[in-house]
Amino acid sequence: MLIKDKKHFNMGLTLAASFAVVLLIIFSPIFGGGKNGLQFSDDLFNKLSKGSSYFIPKLNEQVTKFDGTMVSTTFNIDKAEDVQRAAQIFMAAGAQVGAEGQAVTLSGDLGKILSSVLKDSDAMFKNDSDSVAARHGMDGREVLALQHNVLSKMDKELKKQKKIEESNIVNAVMRRAIEPSYNFYGIEAQRVIDKAFTMIFLLVFYVVYTMWWGFAIFYLFEGIGLSMKKSKVKKEV
């Protein structure tokens, strides 16, 4: 008979069956708003990630130190159709923009330029695309994408000019303001402290559920006589 150890085999079968039942529950749309368990946990961790990615107030303080710092950079915009739109956005921030084909020269007060970018990023972080669209006449995410494109090129040019402090603040605005605002747009931010119990439960459940399946397989194999044992050491004569 295939089953060598009924007790362990039945334990493994029980664990495997209960694992399958829980898995069925996880994939059922019963976790609020028609979400299944995976969608619910993914949505929760996205909200918590957004809640811990709000650096804009601190960046606003850092950017004000560059008020009156004049910069001038020349670079190429990748797409010809983006030149006019990018110029429109940065002229609204008080910059002087000149364009010849896809070559763009952007100059102005770095502090004021970045403060304007942060204003748009802050609105988008708070899921307020309408106010950004009203200021620039285009979709909020398009505005952020163009700002990111221009600032990334400014960053490279400032490095070439050996303006490291200016380059660092431009890079910080891109990474810590534009990118979170773009990536988390449409998601409601939540603080970890407000969802601490749920988060801890999900993490503990993940560990326990993984071990649950491992023990099911272990006992099933034990039941059919497959087990791992330390091999005997052969003694030389």
Same domain membership, residue 136 and residue 105: yes
C-alpha torsion sign, points 71, 160, 104, 152 = negative
204 sits in which H/E element: helix 196-223
The β-bridge partners of 103 are 76, 100
Same domain membership, residue 77 and residue 16: no
Same domain membership, residue 163 and residue 90: yes
**How far does CA 95 lie from the centroid of its chain?**
30
In angstroms, the CA 104 to CA 86 distance is 10
Q: What is the pLDDT of residue 42?
A: 92
Q: Which residue has the tokens 């957004």?
A: 50
Q: What is the pLDDT of residue 117?
A: 97
Same domain membership, residue 118 and residue 27: no
Same domain membership, residue 170 and residue 91: yes
pLDDT in tens, the chain (237 residues): 577 888 989 999 999 999 999 999 999 999 888 899 999 999 999 999 999 999 999 999 999 999 999 999 999 998 999 999 999 999 999 999 999 999 999 999 999 999 999 999 999 999 999 999 999 999 999 999 999 999 999 999 999 999 999 999 999 999 999 999 999 999 999 988 889 999 999 999 999 999 999 999 999 998 888 766 665 556 565
Query: Beta strand 103-109 with 96-100: parallel, antiparallel or unpaired?
Result: antiparallel
DSSP state letters, 117-146: HHHHHHHHHTT-HHHHHHHHSS-HHHHHHH
**How far does CA 99 lie from the centroid of its chain?**
34
In angstroms, the CA 37 to CA 42 distance is 8
Helices 140-160 and 164-173, packing angle to 10 deg = 160
Is 229 contained in some domain?
A: no
Please state the φ and ψ torsions of residue 79, each to the nearest 5 degrees.
Answer: -115, 130
Rg, Å, the chain Cα set: 28
For residue 102, give the amino acid letter. Answer: Q
State the total domains in the chain: 2
C-beta of residue 154 within 8 angstroms of C-beta of residue 170: yes
Q: What is the pLDDT of residue 4?
A: 83
219 to 20, 211, 216: CA distances (angstroms): 16, 12, 5
C-alpha torsion sign, points 91, 93, 96, 98 = negative
156 sits in which H/E element: helix 140-160
Same domain membership, residue 107 and residue 60: yes
**How far does CA 60 lie from the centroid of its chain?**
21
Q: What is the pLDDT of residue 3?
A: 79
Same domain membership, residue 219 and residue 124: no
Q: What is the pLDDT of residue 192?
A: 87
Q: Which residue has the tokens 């150890």?
A: 5
Is 230 contained in some domain?
A: no
Structural domain range at position 84: 55-183
Is 1 contained in some domain?
A: no
Is 234 contained in some domain?
A: no
